[in-house]
Structure 1
Amino acid sequence: MTLTSTPNQIEDSGTQTQYEMSGADALMDSLRRHGVDTIFGYPGGAILPIYDAVFKAEQEGWLKHILVRHEQGGTHAADGFARATGKVGVCFGTSGPGATNLVTGIATAQMDSVPLVVITGQVPRPAIGTDAFQETDIFGITLPIVKHSWVVRDPSEIAKVVAQAFLIASSGRPGPVLIDIPKDVGQEMFKYVPVEPGSIKPLGFELPFAPEHKAISSALDLIENAEQPLLYVGGGVISSGAHETLAAIANRYQIPVTTTLMGKGAFDERDPLSVGMLGMHGTAYANFAVTECDLLIAIGARFDDRVTGKLDTFAPKAKVIHFEIDPAEINKNRVVEVSVLGDVGISLVKLLDLSNQRKTNPRTSQWLNKIKNWKNNFPLITPPKEGEIYPQEVLIALRDLAQDAYITTDVGQHQMWAAQYLLNGPRQWISSAGLGTMGFGMPAAMGVKVALPKEKVICIAGDASILMNIQELGTIAQYKLNLKVIIINNHWQGMVRQWQESFYDERYSASNMSVGEPDFISLSKAFGIEGIVISERENLIPQLQKALENEGPVLVNVNVRKGENCYPMVPPGKSNAEMVGI
């Protein structure tokens, strides 16, 4: 039974309206109250009572369940759903291998601060601890990679746990949480008392503090006196919806902006103030800028090793301001002069408000000229129009043909080329940055398309990483998800090959994917999905255009130059200024 109206709330000393129902039905009603209308998952024995309640919810018309072909695909789809919308993604898996198959997706969300509620079935309560069939301690396994987790041993706790789960997943620095529900808890009938969103908080839970005025003022003092400032922007600006305020600050003080892989889309990369992505495969001018700046303004970024290169040489001339919601990130990798702790969206609004009370003229004209010269002297590679198709050509073509598309990627060279050449709006760049999860892109694209069915959605994949979750072509076919999968096919694990060439004397151990590679077009057609192969340059744009205009899903296999390396590159152990390939 699913409730269709909210019961009257009674004072704490009294009682609320109660409903006789199973734990599984109570779970579904609690999810509905928290705005859930889409769940990604895969059934199994321990979670069958919950799937019976899912069946009823779908019959009632308020829920859409997407049957993935592997639980990892379910977590990535829920992740893509969350990144594209800002809502909490929800996925289900059964006990044992069903639960352990979720682990990679949970870790991916945790590293990239994505709000997920992951719900697993568990063996019945009397069987816990007996090594029962398909029993796994998923609570213990996932402790290091979730914000919080629960094992529900009493169905009367379900509503409270769900309310806490959504609050924790979505507040502060977002992240995944896990709820493990034994099979008999889902079956047990009890007197259900609904809990409304936000009406209950976990013991010891606190929302982030408001940023301190003194910290805001100190930050603004440094900004107003800097001659070579640089805004270093991470995923926190995306999750807090602060892109418009960021643009206002950048334009007011004429400060150039560089983004992390997670921060792509936070600032318009067509704006002259943009210097693109920094770090290992960032633009040369972004890495020169961070090396020469006298003030680094880090906003919602965590000084990741792929950004900093050799840490003690990162921004060596700069004072540092750090706008951050997570206290654990302050001074973790880089000691800063000023830290502004709190939601970065609120912090930037307060900074802009305070700046409007002061009369300040930008002091960065010489700095911007220096950056302009770097842009002219060290541009991204323009591939020659000869020989085999260059992988960069494919990304440039997609940039021109699908400017407003939501982009997901797998992980590898193609991911870095996509980050370099594509220009994305807020929440339109969706990529596994922190964990670097191969196989992320296609199921994430499914989640985006389910969430935003009217938007163009493109997955950029490699021929190696696409095989990690290739079975999700079945999900795409079942639900007729009109998304496009573009394989940049160089017949290698491209990034592994590049490192073996550069640092292992060209000993190409276990990185060639040619032998055993499937005929991707025949494979896609076996799933009932249109397939296109592109091997000649004159066919590239016409065939990509054909794929994008198709009303259904399409897989495009683009055969590209096999030995192309992704540059610029900061070699391991080197500073950002010591790039190769520029």
Structure 2
Amino acid sequence: MSATDRPSAEPVAVPEGAFEWHRVLGVDELPEGRVTTVSVGRRTLAVTHAAGAFGVMSNRCPHQGGPLGEGSIEKGWLRCPWHGYDYSPCNGQPPEGFDDAPEAYASEVRDDGVYVALPAEVAPGRTVSDVMVETMVNWGVDSVFGMVGHSNLGFADAMHRAEQRGDLRYFGIRHEGAASFAATAYGKLTGRLAACFGIAGPGSTNLLTGLYDAKVDRAPVLALSGQVPSKTKGRGAFQDMDLANAFKDVARFGEVVLASADHAELMTLACKTAIVDKDVAHLIFPDEVQVEPSNQQASGPDGRTGPREISPPPEVVAEAVERIRRSERPVIVVGQGARADIDGVVALAELIGAPVITTFKAKGAISDHHPLGCGVLGRSGTPVASWLMNESDLVVAFGASFSNHTGIAPYKPIIQIDHDPMAIGRHHPVDLGLQGAVATTARLLAAGLGGERECVDQRAVIADRWRIWREEKASRRTDDHGRGMNAASVFAELSDQTPDDAVICVDVGNNTYSFGRYFEVAGQDVLMSGYLGSIGFALPAAMGAWAAVGDTRKVVSVSGDGGFGQYAMELTTAVKYGMGITHVLLNNHELGKISKEQRAGEFDVWATSLHNPDFAAFAQLCGAYGVRVTERDQLHDAIASALAHDGPSLVEIVTDPLLM
């Protein structure tokens, strides 16, 4: 462009076809020599004021899509802010020798402002993203947690249309890690599928921790990733990452969505894999494929699965029945895999008077107030459970994975029941393995145990062990070093006040060990990051739980100050969506579990102290209810007020790290 070139000043003609006039701004709103951005419906426009005239054109530079409304007027030309391409501010025409030009529109100045003539908006056509969103909705996805960004806008637009139809809800989070934890918790609680959503590059890699939690704890999750345009993929473009390989280890099913694919069937396979295998499915959507037109029909689950209530062979059931019949003090151990079918297991226990002990992940599967309920076994467990395990002469384990933290004695005779053949004898041989659905197998065992048995009804023994433990807990509630609350007091109060049908999401650390040991569960569901043990789980998980149950049940989350700090800003997400979550925060100003491990290993306590704000005041700044507890006589009223609050609330309790 030479110095003598001048931009065209010819005004844009009024269109011949159907159009509508729209006021875009007041005459005095845009100074001479400036350009700005305005929106009219779904259109974004660049409006200029140069050489005494107004011009209106598409906000998108035809070169690489730069936002012309963020540019500048230089020497009479409208200059794109990205690469310096010039256009006439009056009609969008480029300098002589160039043929690229943004679409420009007729405008006129009226007494009340500047108006533009725009063709009538056409409803967006059906796209690949529409087909896939409708398919995942058919598979039961009603909640998506994520962050909208430049490489997933087409899919986001399809989800927006689905939300407007009432087919799903979208929760915009502050960090994609919270999105995957929320989706994971939804799956852990319901067994149904929720989705998490991120952009290319870091938006998707941020999902990985929560997805690994889903994988190791066998929760169904659908992960959805935007991707850079296919023509720039593999060429070092901005946020260009090989997401297929990055997710290869965590995703049971993973595919890049191609323009020529059968999109409905691809989404069906992803959803089916996640639900049937209780695992992670991952789909990657290149930017341009998301908005490709499509006339495909959505698919769904009809005719895609069959009954899964499998039974062990009769001869194996008969052998298990005989072993149980001959035992005097059998115990039943319930893992997370048996939670959904607990009624059949409890019926078997009641028939033979056997104690029911749970793994930590299965806490809440049976009430601690049931005559046969013995609480949690292992590092987070109760003396009740450990005493009865030690006294047993047979272990019957349903849906338990025999973690090294659980405390199932490997030298005991063990009958293991699981639907997954790989779970049986995973860590050490068992005496008898039964592959079968928990509920089905429990019913078969109960049916075979009619008549004479050597099993001793242990209800009286269990009641005595609970009496001893409750007296010990009462004694511990009096402990006071003058540095904060003790765990026994905190969880006694929480046990008394938490509704029996609540959902409780717990974090990782001393607070969680204390929860397992001291909280007496009634009918609550308890969610945790089990095998992964990821700090920060509780608050995002509570968001996922709330999405599943809404305000029909109370949702409570419990964490330490270290865990809460991981995703503290998600409290604003809870406020934004009116989530009725009560977060109980045990603040000891340190990573107490790590300090304890350093002492146990005879290391110096180092790098575990935390600099914290007033978390209750922080909650109030976020728009939630916040209350701080420093004395034991404040505890009851503080928890009661937080649980009663309509909306998100936080109880900060100053605790003594040595009394957790």
Q: TM-score category by the smaller chain?
A: 0.7 to 0.9
- 1:315 is displaced (CA, Å) by 4.0
1:181-225 CA deviation, whole Å, 9 max, x = no partner?
Answer: 222221212331332214458xxx996854322222221111111
Q: Does 1:462 align with 2:554?
A: no
**Are 2:525 and 1:428 equivalent residues in the alignment?**
yes
CA distance in 2, matches of 1:426, 1:87: 21
Q: How many angstroms does 1:360 deviate by?
A: 3.4
1:187 aligns with 2:284: no
Amino acid of the structure 2 residue aligned with 1:28: V
In structure 1, the residue matched to 2:323 is 222
Closer/same/farther in 2, CA of residues 324 and 447 from structure 1, 3 Å limit: same
Amino acid at match of 2:426: K
Structure 2 CA distance for aligned equivalents of residues 150 and 200 of structure 1: 20
Question: Does the alignment pair 1:543 with 2:641?
Answer: no
Q: Retained in 2: the 8 A contact 1:155–1:188? A: no
Paired with 1:403 and 1:182, the residues of 2 have a C-alpha distance of: 46
Moved more, 410-419 or 458-467: 410-419
1:51-130 maps to which residues of 2 (within 5 A)? 51-130=156-235
Out of 236, 241, 249, the residue aligned to residue 144 of structure 1 is 249
Q: CA deviation at 1:151?
A: 1.9
CA distance in 1, matches of 2:454, 2:188: 35
Q: Distance in 2 between matches of 1:284 and 1:105?
A: 32
TM-score, normalised to structure 2, is 0.76
The corresponding residue for 1:525 is: 620
What displacement does 1:247 show? 1.0
Query: Counterparts in 2 of 1:270-419, with a 5 A limit?
Result: 270-308=369-407, 314-316=409-411, 318-355=412-449, 358-361=450-453, 363-365=455-457, 374-377=465-468, 381-382=473-474, 383-385=476-478, 386=480, 387=482, 388-404=484-500, 405-419=502-516
Partner SS, residue 510 of structure 1 = coil
The yes-or-no answer on 1:265 pairing with 2:265 is: no
Paired residues of 2:580 and 2:646 also in contact (CA < 8 A): yes
**Separation in 2 of the partners of 1:51 and 1:104?**
23
Letter in 2 for 1:548: L
Q: Relative to structure 1, is the Cα distance of residues 233 and 67 closer, same or farther in structure 2, using a 3 angstrom cutoff?
A: same
Any idea what SS the aligned residue of 1:242 has? helix
In structure 2, what residue type is equivalent to 1:381?
K
* Contact in 2 for aligned 1:483/1:554 (Cα 8 Å): yes
Native 8 Å contact 2:595 2:608 kept in 1: yes
SS state at 1:306 partner: coil
Equivalent of 1:45, from 150, 174, 186?
A: 150
Q: In structure 2, how many angstroms separate the alpha carbons of the residues matched to 1:125 and 1:208?
A: 44
Helix, strand or coil at the partner of 2:294: strand
CA distance in 2, matches of 1:179, 1:362: 55
Pair 1:329–1:210, CA change in 2 (3 A) = same
The aligned residue for residue 312 of structure 2 is 211
Per the TM alignment, residue 25 of structure 1 is displaced from its structure 2 partner at its CA by 0.8
2:592 to 488, 494, 498: 494
RMSD: 2.3
1:125 and 1:153 in contact (8 A); partners too: no
1:253 aligns with 2:344: no
Q: Give the superposition deviation at 1:534.
A: 0.7
1:377 to partner: Cα distance: 4.8
CA deviation after TM superposition for structure 1 residue 66, in Å? 0.7
Instruction: Give the aligned length.
Output: 530
Partner of 1:135, secondary structure, is coil
Tell whether the 8 Å contact from 1:80 to 1:448 is kept in structure 2 after alignment: yes
SS of equivalent residue, structure 2 residue 141: coil
1:22-77 Cα distance to aligned partner (Å, 9 max, x none): 11111111122112222111112221110111121122222211111111111111
Q: Structure 2 vs 1, CA of residues 166 and 254 (structure 1 numbering), >3 Å: closer, same or farther?
A: same
Structure 1 residues 354 and 75, CA gap change in structure 2 (3 angstroms): same
Which of 211, 231, 234 is the equivalent residue of 2:335? 234
Q: Which has the higher strand share?
A: 2
When residues 84 and 331 of structure 1 are mapped into structure 2, their CA distance, relative to the original with a 3 A threshold, is closer
Contact 2:348 2:443 in 1 (8 A): no
Higher relative contact order (CA 8 A, sep 6+): 1
**C-alpha distance in structure 2 between counterparts of 1:363 and 1:208, whole Å:** 28
Runs of 5+ in structure 2 lacking a partner?
1-124
Quote how far apart the aligned CAs of 1:321 are.
0.8
Change (3 A) 1:119 1:426: farther
* Separation in structure 2 between the aligned mates of residue 359 and residue 224 of structure 1, nearest angstrom: 9
In the TM superposition, residue 290 of structure 1 has moved relative to its aligned partner by 2.3
* 1:289 Cα deviation after fit: 2.6
Q: For 2:170 and 2:130, locate their aligned partners in 1 and report how far apart those are by CA, in whole Å.
A: 15
Using a 3 Å threshold, how does the CA distance of structure 1 residues 557 and 443 change in structure 2: closer, same or farther? same
Aligned-residue offset at 1:391: 2.2
2 CA distance for matches of 1:39 and 1:537?
Answer: 40
C-alpha distance in structure 2 between counterparts of 1:271 and 1:208, whole Å: 27
Q: In 2, are the aligned partners of 1:109 and 1:176 still within 8 Å (CA)?
A: yes
Conserved 8 A contact 1:252-1:362: no
Can you list the C-alpha shifts for 1:351-377, whole angstroms capped at 9, x where unaligned? 23333xx31346224x66665555455
Q: Which amino acid aligns with 1:223?
A: I
Corresponding letter in the other structure for 1:351? L
Q: Give the 3-state SS of the residue equivalent to 1:134 in structure 2.
A: coil
Contact 2:243/2:284 (8 A) holds in 1: yes
State how far apart, in whole Å, the 2-side matches of 1:267 and 1:331 are.
Answer: 25
1:524 and 1:530 in contact (8 A); partners too: yes
Are positions 1:158 and 2:284 aligned together?
no
Q: Check 1:483–1:377 CA distance in 2 against 1; reply closer, same or farther (3 A cut).
A: closer
Cα deviation for residue 425 of structure 1 reads 5.7
- Please name the residue that 1:484 is paired with: 582
Q: 2:126 matched to which residue of 1?
A: 21
Please give the per-residue CA displacement for 1:220-240, whole angstroms capped at 9, x wherever unaligned.
1111111121111100012xx
Aligned-residue offset at 1:399: 0.8
Task: Give me the whole-angstrom Cα distance separating, in 2, the residues matched to 1:200 and 1:455.
Answer: 32
Q: Does the aligned pair in 2 maintain the 1:152–1:180 contact within 8 Å?
A: yes
CA distance in 2 between counterparts of 1:427 and 1:113 reads 20
TM-score norm. by structure 1 comes to: 0.86
Residue identity over aligned pairs, in percent, reads: 27
C-alpha distance after superposition, 1:438-493 (max 9, x if no partner): 11100111111122122111111101110001110110111111211110111111
| Shift in CA distance, 343/147, structure 1 to aligned 2, threshold 3 Å | farther
- Aligned partners of 1:107, 1:323: CA distance in 2, in Å? 25
Question: 1:305: how far off?
Answer: 1.0
Looking at structure 2, the residues matched to 353 and 370 of structure 1 have their Cα atoms a distance apart, in angstroms, of 26
| Residues 163, 200 of structure 1: 8 Å contact kept | no
Question: Conserved in 1, the CA contact under 8 Å of 2:575 and 2:647?
Answer: no
Matches of 1:353 and 1:161 in 2, distance apart?
Answer: 43
TM-superposed deviation, 1:345? 2.4
Indicate how the Cα distance of structure 1 residues 85 and 491 shifts in structure 2: closer, same or farther if over 3 A, else same: same
CA distance in 2, matches of 1:518, 1:75: 27
Q: Which runs of 4+ in 1 moved over 4 A?
A: 205-209, 367-380
Query: What SS does the corresponding residue of 1:339 show, helix, strand or coil?
Result: strand
Provide closer, same or farther for how the CA distance between residues 58 and 348 of structure 1 changes in structure 2, counting only shifts above 3 A. same
In 1, Cα distance between equivalents of 2:199 and 2:492: 42
Highest CA radius of gyration, 1 or 2?
A: 2
**Deviation of 1:259 (Å):** 0.6
Supply the AA of the counterpart residue of 2:379.
M
